Amino acid sequence: MPTKYAAGNWKMNGTRAALAEAEAIAKGAPDGAVTLICPPATLLAAMPESLASGGQYCHPNTSGAHTGDLSPEMLADAGATFCITGHSERRTDHGETDAHVRAQTEAAWRAGLTAILCIGETLDQREAEQTIAVLTEQLDGSLPDGATPENTVIAYEPVWAIGTGRVATPDQVAEVHDFLRGKLGADFALLYGGSVKAANAAELFALTNVNGALVGGASLKAADFLPIAEALAAS
Ligand code: PGA
C-alpha cells in the first residue's frame, strides 16, 4: 500500500505569527498518514520538529552564484525532508520547463529530500481532451529515472482547480489517478491537489488510487487542515 500524505503548501503566505498554526497542526496530526507543511523558506528552520516540512522549490545546484535561489542542501539543513517540484505556479511564473523540473527533482534526491512532483493540465487542455497526453508528456519530461516510492510522491493538480474553489469531480480525479497508477505501478503515493477542503476531502480519499492531497489555501489554518488529514487517516 502506498503511504498516505496530507501535504500543505503555504505558498507565499505566512510570517512567524503563522508558526502557531504549524504547532497546532503538529499537535493534532493523526496517526495513519504523514502530515507535512511546505512553508515559505523563511519559516523552515522555525517549524516544529515534530512536523515534517518541505521546500516549495529548489535550485538544481548545491551552491553558487544564483542570487535569490535556494539549494536542496540548504532546505535540508533548515529541517526540510520534502521539496515540491514543478508546481504549476512555478512553471507559469518562472517559466520552469519539464527539463528544469527533472533537474530539481534529482537535486532534491541528492540532498535526501522526497520530491513532491506536480503535474496538471490547464482548462484549455482539458477541454481539448488533451489531459492524458499532457500528463504523459509532463511525466516523461520531468520524472527522472531512478524515481522510487520512497524518493518521489506524485501530485496531480489540474491548473484550473488550484485556488479557484472548483475542485475536480471524483470521476475526473479517478480517471487521471487510475492512469497514473497504471503508468507508475502499485507503490507510488498519488496525491490530488486543487481546492481540497474538509468538505470534499472524504469523497476524494475514497477513490482507490488517491493516497492523499496537496492542499494550498486550506492548509494555512490548523482548523481547516486537520480535518483533511483526519479524513485521509480514516480512509
Ligand atoms: P489550493 O492549492 O488548495 O489553494 O487550490 C493547491 C496547490 O496549489 O497545491
Which whole number is the average pLDDT over 92-113? 97
Cα–Cα nearest to 151, from 194, 192, 184: 184
Please confirm, yes or no, whether 177 is among the known catalytic residues: no
SS3 187: coil
From 129-133, 159-163, 176-180, the region with the lowest mean pLDDT: 159-163
- The pLDDT tens digits of the residues spanning 44-95 come to 999 999 999 999 999 999 999 999 999 999 999 999 999 999 999 999 999 9
- Domains of the chain by range and CATH? 5-17+30-220 (3.20.20.70)
Residue closest via CA to ligand 1's atom 7 equals 216
Substitution site in 162, 173, 195 for ligand 1 pocket (most atoms within 8 Å of beta carbon) = 162
Confidence of residue 165 (pLDDT cuts 50, 70, 90): confident
Q: Which residue has the cell 487542515?
A: 225
207 with 235: CB under 8 angstroms? no
Question: Across residues 209-218, what is the average pLDDT?
Answer: 98
157 is a catalytic site residue: yes
Question: Is the CB of residue 196 below 6 angstroms from any atom belonging to ligand 1?
Answer: yes
222 contacts 21 by C-beta, under 8 angstroms:
yes
* Mean residue pLDDT across the chain: 97
Looking from the CA of residue 118, the nearest atom of ligand 1 is 9
Whole-number pLDDT of residue 68: 95
